[in-house]
Amino acid sequence: MISKLKEKSIQKFYNKTILTAQNKEQQQYKIKKIAVLLDNPSIENKIIADLTTKFPFQKENITVLIYKPFEKKDKNQEESQEENQQENIKIFTEKDIGFKASLKSDNLKNFVKIDYDALINYIKTPNLYTNTITLLSQARLKTGFANIDDRLYNLIIADDGFDETILNQELKKYLTILNKI
């Protein structure tokens, strides 16, 4: 019952905020600092390798935020989460977002506060929690797959297979045209 109320509260905040966030003015700048949003931790190394080889991005300038559905933690999960915190990798669950999209976790608060040059969202299915993080992020350029919520992004890549490699290829093409890299 509470989770349904919480989701409705977040959805109401999301719908209200998305309307004001759409009209951001774009400035001329080069992309150096990247935020990556994933829901599949197994592709994280592939994504980072792809971004550092195909783009002129440094690994230390890439921050990864991974969404995982909430599960009761055991010791192994806590240890792996501590290891990830030492790198530029952060993990969050729906428990880290409260009513009216309030952020409970310091990881999330810091993630949305940092002015990234670009946020690349590799999420393949619509998810209220990852969409909320994308919406709240201060990134100058937000990009992701089409049909998630097109209002979130400045640059939308349409691919029926939701392939990360195609997203990166198209992103490189458009960023080169826009003189961002």
CATH of the domain at 15: 3.40.50
3-class SS of residue 97 = strand
- Residue 22 predicted with pLDDT over 80: no
Determine the longest span between alpha carbons in the chain, in angstroms. Answer: 49
- Residue 173 predicted with pLDDT over 90: yes
3-class SS of residue 123 = coil
Residues 6+ apart with CB under 8 A from 181: 30, 31, 55, 56, 172, 175
For range 17-39, the mean pLDDT: 80
**Residue with more model confidence, 13 or 87:** 13
pLDDT score of 179: 87
62-67: strand order across its sheet: 89-92, 62-67, 34-38, 118-121, 141-145, 155-157
pTM of this prediction?
0.82
- Residue 136 predicted with pLDDT over 60: yes
Confidence of residue 67 (pLDDT cuts 50, 70, 90): very high
- Residue 76 predicted with pLDDT over 90: no
**Burial category of 38 from C-beta neighbours within 10 Å (exposed 0-12, middle 13-18, buried 19 and up):** buried
**Residue with more model confidence, 74 or 115:** 115
pLDDT score of 21: 67
**Residue with more model confidence, 76 or 34:** 34
> If we measure between CA atoms, which residue out of 152, 167, 157, 179 comes closest to residue 46?
167
Number of domains in the chain: 1
**Residue with more model confidence, 80 or 51:** 51
CB 127 within 8 A of CB 40: no
- Residue-number span of the structural domain to which 50 is assigned: 1-21+30-178
Helix (H) or strand (E) holding 66: strand 62-67
Measured in whole angstroms, how far is the alpha carbon of residue 161 from the centre of its chain?
19
Measured in whole angstroms, how far is the alpha carbon of residue 29 from the centre of its chain?
20
For range 50-61, the mean pLDDT: 93
Mean pLDDT of the chain: 86
pLDDT score of 86: 47
